[in-house]
Amino acid sequence: MDYIIIVAGGKGLRMGGDLPKQFLPLDGRPVLMRTMERFREYSDSLQIILVLPHEQQAYWRQLCEKHHFSIGHTVVDGGATRFNSSQNGVAAVPDDADGVVGIHDGVRPFVSVETIARCFEAARQYGAALPVLPVTDTLRRVTDDGGYNVQRNDYRTVQTPQAFQAQLLKRAFGQPYSDAFTDDASVVEAMGGKVTMVDGNRENIKLTTPFDLIVAEAMIKDS
What is the per-residue pLDDT across 38-85, written as a single tens digit (0 to 9) for each?
999 999 999 999 999 999 999 999 999 999 999 999 999 999 999 999
Low-confidence ranges of the chain (pLDDT < 70): 10-17
Please give the pLDDT value at position 163.
98
Sign, Cα dihedral of 7, 88, 121, 196 = positive
The dihedral region occupied by 17, where left means phi > 0, alpha psi between -120 and 50, and beta the remainder, is left
Q: Which of 31, 204, 221, 207 is nearest to 113 (CA)?
A: 204
DSSP, res 88: H
Q: How many helices (H) does the chain have, and how many strands (E)?
A: 7, 12
Measured CA to CA, the distance from residue 185 to residue 172 in angstroms comes to: 9
- Give the pLDDT score at 16: 52
Task: List strand residue ranges (DSSP E) for the chain, in order.
Answer: 3-7, 25-26, 29-30, 47-52, 74-77, 100-105, 128-134, 139-143, 146-150, 156-158, 162-165, 196-199
pLDDT at 10: 60
Q: Are 121 and 114 in contact (CB under 8 A)?
A: no
Please report, for residues 172, 197, 205, the alpha-carbon distance to residue 156 in angstroms, rounded to integers and kept in the order given. 23, 9, 14
pTM recorded for the entire structure? 0.95
Residue 33: what are its φ and ψ, rounded to 5°?
A: -65, -40
Collapsed DSSP state (helix, strand, coil) of residue 199: strand
